[in-house]
Amino acid sequence: MIEKVRGGINCKLVCIDIDGTLLNDAKEIMPEVKRAVRKQYEKGRKIALVSGRMPCAVSQIEEQLGIDCIKICNAGTFIIVDGRCVKEEVMSTNVMRQLYENIAEKYKVALWIFQGYQWYVTRIDSFAENEIRIIKHKPDVMSIDELSVNWDKNGICPNKLLIAAEEKKINEIQADMGMWENREFDIARSSGNYLEIFPKCVDKGKAIISLCAILKISRKNIIAIGDHELDIPMIETAGVGIAMGNAIQELKAKANFVTLTNNEAGVAYALDHFL
């Protein structure tokens, strides 16, 4: 059951996805959304930005909001509280090599690699160029062999991998990877063009459970808002899960409430409705 107090839910933490949720299609925070999020922060509620984005790209959104946020980055594998990483999840470099050889080369797509605060790609393509424009950060172009040798020598492992391609090709790749047996990773879409690859049994839902333990709060005191497949575990974990009006149908079916779209300030409508 959802714990309630006078005026609504006893919410202590608001978890918000970024792309397709907090941001409109122009990748902007609408004034109404900024107002609503800041209002909850000023009431003493913690705000967590929960995203597939790397830390520097999440920090840019935090700066635009003008408030201190918890940052759950790299699809839930890198949690930053008060400016320091408090929890990190990784997968083996062997997975990185395996996916490059059996997926990236097979489908002729670039592999993106995220490790801590860093972003690497096997090559720059139109999807990487678009991401660079959005987050204003350029990745290092590295060969998988070079990266693997260096990381194996220094005990470094990736937090997350990503494949960006046309939606039809992503459908094919996701179906292909979905049939792999005994795989050491999980996959989920963060958009039609982005397939996120992260350590097995790690997701945004597990990340906010870890955050609850750190903050010493209950899951029932969390409101979570999202729009795509990567957000489903977060929506299921929170006391109240809210789907954006533009969310995929599978997420809407899991949510307690469906708000307006990201182009209609849906986050503001949801927060005003519940809080």
pLDDT in tens, 88-131: 999 999 999 999 999 999 999 999 999 999 999 999 999 999 99
Residue 268: the pLDDT is: 98
Closest CA to 157 of 196, 113, 121: 113
pLDDT digits (tens, 9 = 90+) for 151-180: 999 999 999 999 999 999 999 999 999 999
Region 225-241: mean pLDDT is 97
Polymer length in residues for the chain? 275
From 3-12, 220-229, 260-269, the region with the lowest mean pLDDT: 3-12
Which runs of consecutive H residues, i.e. helices, occur in 136-217? 144-154, 167-178, 204-215
Q: How many helices (H) and strands (E) does the chain have?
A: 11, 16
- Asked if the model's pLDDT at residue 254 lies above 70, the reply is yes
Q: What's the token pair of residue 90?
A: 């990784």
Cα-based distances in Å from 86 to 51, 103, 112: 16, 32, 24
The answer, yes or no, to whether residue 220 has pLDDT greater than 70, is: yes
| Residue the block writes with tokens 């107002």 | 35
> pTM here?
0.93
At 8 the pLDDT is: 53
| pLDDT single digits (tens) 40-93 | 999 999 999 999 999 999 999 999 999 999 999 999 999 999 999 999 999 999
d(CA 223, CA 236): 10
- How many CB atoms are closer than 10 A to CB 233? 24
Model confidence at 3: pLDDT above 80: no
What does the pLDDT read at residue 4? 37
Give phi and psi for 222, each to the nearest 5: -115, 135
Per cent of the chain over pLDDT 90 is 95
